Structure 1
Amino acid sequence: MGRLRRGRATLAAGAAMCALMALPGQAAAAGTPSPYVFADRAVPVEGAKSSMGSAKLTPGSTYKSSLARGDKLYYQLQLDARETAYVSATAAPGLDAHVVYGDGVKVSLQDANGNNCNSQDARFGTSQSPRPITAWAVREVGPTGNRCKAAGTYYAVVERNTRPGSSTETWDTELRVVSEPGVAKGATTTPPESWNSAPPTPPGGERKERRGGTGFNDARALRTGVWGDRIEPGQTLFYRVPVDWGQQISASAELGSASGGQGDYVTSAFVMSLSNPVRARIDDADTAYDGKQRTTALEPLAPIAYENRYSPIDGVAGTRFAGWYYLSVHLNPQVARQFGGGPLDLTLRVNVDGSAKAGPSYVGTARPADQFSVTGQDKDAAARGETAAGDSGGDGGGSGSGNGDVMRVVAAGGIGAGTLLLAVLGVWTLIGRRRAAGQV
């Protein structure tokens, strides 16, 4: 019995010490939500001020970098003549960063002659609230366009757009490079002219708890249904939904009423966004908040089809492939100042309509593999409520990957790093006393 107790005490001390070591600096304070969880295998990379000597990025990989105020950074890619390449940059300002309407990030893809293949930007907009935002660019091969089709060296250019009054702090950024293979000849290039654009009926039924993640890498998997969560002012929660070829996704989000506080309404208080498998933003919606329950919903989207990419409408062109689609919801920190700082109830209504169809005849393999498909494992992950890291929280499960759940327990209990250290020392003292007693 003495050995068993010592074993349990040792395990408890080890678990507490591991939790202490896992505490990131910015989350050491109890209850402070992490602004973004980066990929576990993200490769550190430094952007160059010039194209010469820029670090090389490889399709299928994820990188961690940074972006200072006014930066324009270069990264290099080697691409063949058959693959369509997507580069996304997710900027994650600190929770206390001050951002204004025009602040944001821009991504461009250029060839070796400085020709611009494509560029997109992302801005904080009217909410003026710090949160993860993602911009992307594509180098596309196919029957349309003339530039940027040759094999060779290309450059991803990541810029930070700033306006007077914005924060001077450096933003952490996550870069992701995805390669899509070409398709067999004969694939249609005619985008859809019409589809069922009637507002879908939101699903009803029982509300089941699923805790959202803090980024693309620990986004909680959902399927058709009604899902519940809690969101803090200033927090951004991420979810992911598998959508196959021929299927149509719709979603709405309801923010619960506040129990206390008073004041004028907060404009753009509640923001919901939808991104496709390469993290390109397809649509977003926002609503003001006056302390009463509010609902916002995405516009009806086209069914997933390869030929959607040829549409001049961004919302249609973004639904160009099957895979994981990402929902994010953000609550403006101004809500805490107007209506109290406690978490508010959140309800997501997600619907995936239509039967899965056969996808295009790809010639080659995507990088990463299975990037543009929905597998049986993906459907199982959505049924169980797994994060992208494989954490299965199920109904009512926590979010995060690796030590994320441990951190949430520590934060929820109000245990800071110092308190936790005292607990560890106390456990080791108890072990020492029991060992001494055993020797006597």
Structure 2
Amino acid sequence: MKRQRGSTGRTAGVLAAAMCAALALPGGAWAAGEGGGYTFDGAAQRVKGAVSNLDAERLKAGQSYRDTIQKNGKLYYRVDLDEKQNAYVSVVAVPRTAAKAGYSDGLKVSMQDGSGTDCGYQSVNFGGSGFTRPLAAYTHRTIDPDSSTCRQAGAYYVLVERTSQDDSADWELEIRYLTEPGVKKTGPTALPENWASGTPQPPTGGPQRRDGGGGFHDAASVRQGEWRTDIKPGQTVYYRVPVDWGQQIFATAELGSSPVADTFVSNALTLSLMNPARGYVASRDLSYDGDPSTLAFDPERPVAFENRFASDDATNGLRFAGWYYLSATLSPEIAKAYGDKPLPLTLRVNVTGQPKPAPPYDGDPGPFTVTEDDRDAAATGQSGPQAARSGTLRVVGVAGIGAGTVLVLGLGAWWLLARRAAGAGPTPG
């Protein structure tokens, strides 16, 4: 009997290990209270930011990383650059859902060369919403033909800084480092004086169902059209749109009516636009009182190489072709007035203008281009670049397959243990 009990204990241990392994699958989403269901890149590697630039770990181009930053923390990372390529390091900060946030609380990402010269930075914050949500910002080293700053080959240091007044919990970080090849010949750097600044008519044909992803990695692909989903209080959904050289992107978001109440909620929905390097371009907020409410981005310039020499973030961010990202966040304050049930959300997207030739890159542009495969993905609703299914199915499917595999292994181990125990006496059925 003692041996039977020992066998049963070992079996329970195997099954417990199987369940733990299933729950520990990489790349999944945080629980709702931790990160609002944000879906991290499953291929991201763990890295530890340094408090001194000379201790910074080196990042590899094309790789995603994960790290954690504390309240008011500062973390350094290193990238080694040549004299030709442009470099982009983006950071997505994922706080707890519905944590309090001050107006200036947020994230700053900057880059310096070995002499301490600033090459570029971007700051993003929660603004007047009063609550946290995922924030995306980037820094870059841009080769400017009219400047000698930050053009030398060597080590460059990326500094990530967090500012928080109320939220003392750690924030998870998703970091991505990309390079863009130089051009064989630099074209004009001045912005065109004339460009189409009008707003096009909204797309026709009626809404199509297209649920957003949980992060950049599994953002749902869309093209020009009207896209319908449901969004819960505190939730952020992600979409991506292919925008080619010379094209303009326009987007509006509409919250549908609710029969529950007519309470006014300011900053009820935040709509943000990010570029293919996950750099912040623009954002807008709308208020909600139970009636239909709509917001729209201001018209921005067409995607063009010379935009990178502009001083404002919106124009500067429209510097290359590729997947542009839209994220929509519904305020957790909605739950107090309208309950926890999701509200209907419609996203209307226009992409105008004929594609123009790409600049004369001296190499493969990588993600900074639009291919026929990209257009097909947008037409079919394929999620992020490394997934073939929608964001929800990807997370559930990967978790289900992983858990099922581990469970089968656990049952196999249980069967072997039962067989061994059978040699010492009868075993429970």
> Normalising TM by the smaller chain, what interval?
0.7 to 0.9
Map Cα deviations across residues 152-175 of structure 1 (whole Å, 9 max, x no partner): 011000000123xx1100000011
Q: Following the alignment from structure 1 to structure 2, what is the Cα–Cα distance between the partners of residues 245 and 93? A: 34
List structure 1 segments (4+ residues) > 6 angstroms apart after TM superposition: 16-21
What is the aligned partner in structure 2 of residue 190 from structure 1?
190
In the TM superposition, residue 291 of structure 1 has moved relative to its aligned partner by: 1.2
Q: Following the alignment from structure 2 to structure 1, what is the Cα–Cα distance between the partners of residues 169 and 207? A: 40
Give the counterpart letter for 1:347 in structure 2: T
**Residue pair 1:88, 1:278 contacting (<8 A) in 2 also:** yes
In the TM superposition, residue 222 of structure 1 has moved relative to its aligned partner by: 0.1
Map Cα deviations across residues 373-403 of structure 1 (whole Å, 9 max, x no partner): 001110111111011155455xxxx524633
Q: Following the alignment from structure 2 to structure 1, what is the Cα–Cα distance between the partners of residues 53 and 284? A: 37
When the two structures are aligned, how many residues end up with a matched partner?
A: 389
Over 3 Å counting, the alpha-carbon distance change for 1:20 and 1:68 in structure 2 is closer
In the TM superposition, residue 360 of structure 1 has moved relative to its aligned partner by: 0.1
Give the counterpart letter for 1:381 in structure 2: A
In the TM superposition, residue 98 of structure 1 has moved relative to its aligned partner by: 2.3
**Residue pair 1:387, 1:401 contacting (<8 A) in 2 also:** no
1:404 is paired with a residue whose SS is helix
Q: Following the alignment from structure 2 to structure 1, what is the Cα–Cα distance between the partners of residues 331 and 273? A: 18
2:100 is paired with a residue whose SS is coil
Matched, 1:52 2:51: no
**Residue pair 1:87, 1:137 contacting (<8 A) in 2 also:** yes
What is the aligned partner in structure 1 of residue 279 from structure 2?
280
Matched, 1:27 2:31: yes
Matched, 1:387 2:383: yes
In the TM superposition, residue 97 of structure 1 has moved relative to its aligned partner by: 2.5
2:118 aligned to 116, 131, 137, which one?
Answer: 116
Over 3 Å counting, the alpha-carbon distance change for 1:22 and 1:401 in structure 2 is farther
In the TM superposition, residue 144 of structure 1 has moved relative to its aligned partner by: 2.6
What is the aligned partner in structure 2 of residue 89 from structure 1?
91
Q: Following the alignment from structure 2 to structure 1, what is the Cα–Cα distance between the partners of residues 146 and 270? A: 35
**Residue pair 2:30, 2:38 contacting (<8 A) in 1 also:** no
1:191 is paired with a residue whose SS is coil
What is the aligned partner in structure 1 of residue 178 from structure 2?
178
Over 3 Å counting, the alpha-carbon distance change for 1:114 and 1:21 in structure 2 is closer
In the TM superposition, residue 404 of structure 1 has moved relative to its aligned partner by: 3.4
**Residue pair 1:99, 1:130 contacting (<8 A) in 2 also:** yes
Over 3 Å counting, the alpha-carbon distance change for 1:128 and 1:392 in structure 2 is same
After alignment, is 311-320 or 200-209 more displaced? 311-320
In the TM superposition, residue 312 of structure 1 has moved relative to its aligned partner by: 2.5
After alignment, is 32-41 or 349-358 more displaced? 32-41
Over 3 Å counting, the alpha-carbon distance change for 1:270 and 1:374 in structure 2 is same
In the TM superposition, residue 365 of structure 1 has moved relative to its aligned partner by: 3.0
Over 3 Å counting, the alpha-carbon distance change for 1:407 and 1:295 in structure 2 is farther
Over 3 Å counting, the alpha-carbon distance change for 1:390 and 1:84 in structure 2 is closer
What is the aligned partner in structure 2 of residue 206 from structure 1?
206
**Residue pair 1:97, 1:169 contacting (<8 A) in 2 also:** no
2:55 is paired with a residue whose SS is coil
What is the aligned partner in structure 1 of residue 396 from structure 2?
404
In the TM superposition, residue 303 of structure 1 has moved relative to its aligned partner by: 1.1
**Residue pair 2:207, 2:228 contacting (<8 A) in 1 also:** yes
What is the aligned partner in structure 2 of residue 147 from structure 1?
149
Over 3 Å counting, the alpha-carbon distance change for 1:121 and 1:25 in structure 2 is closer
In the TM superposition, residue 363 of structure 1 has moved relative to its aligned partner by: 0.8
**Residue pair 1:192, 1:311 contacting (<8 A) in 2 also:** no
Matching of residues 350-389 of structure 1 within 5 Å: 350-366=349-365, 370-389=366-385
Over 3 Å counting, the alpha-carbon distance change for 1:91 and 1:227 in structure 2 is same
1:198 is paired with a residue whose SS is coil
What is the aligned partner in structure 1 of residue 423 from structure 2?
none
1:158 aligned to 154, 160, 184, which one?
Answer: 160
What is the aligned partner in structure 2 of residue 234 from structure 1?
234
Identical residues among aligned pairs (%): 43
Map Cα deviations across residues 289-342 of structure 1 (whole Å, 9 max, x no partner): 111111011111111111111222322221110000000001000011012221
Map Cα deviations across residues 397-438 of structure 1 (whole Å, 9 max, x no partner): x52463335779xxxxxxxx9xxx9xx99xx99xx9xxxxxx
1:337 is paired with a residue whose SS is helix
Q: Following the alignment from structure 2 to structure 1, what is the Cα–Cα distance between the partners of residues 210 and 289? A: 26
What is the aligned partner in structure 1 of residue 307 from structure 2?
308
What is the aligned partner in structure 2 of residue 438 from structure 1?
none
2:129 aligned to 106, 127, 130, which one?
Answer: 127
- TM-score w.r.t. length of structure 1: 0.82
1:134 is paired with a residue whose SS is strand
**Residue pair 2:35, 2:94 contacting (<8 A) in 1 also:** no
Give the counterpart letter for 1:227 in structure 2: W
**Structure 2 portions without partners, runs of 5+:** 1-14, 419-429
What is the aligned partner in structure 1 of residue 252 from structure 2?
252
In the TM superposition, residue 149 of structure 1 has moved relative to its aligned partner by: 0.5
Over 3 Å counting, the alpha-carbon distance change for 1:401 and 1:308 in structure 2 is farther
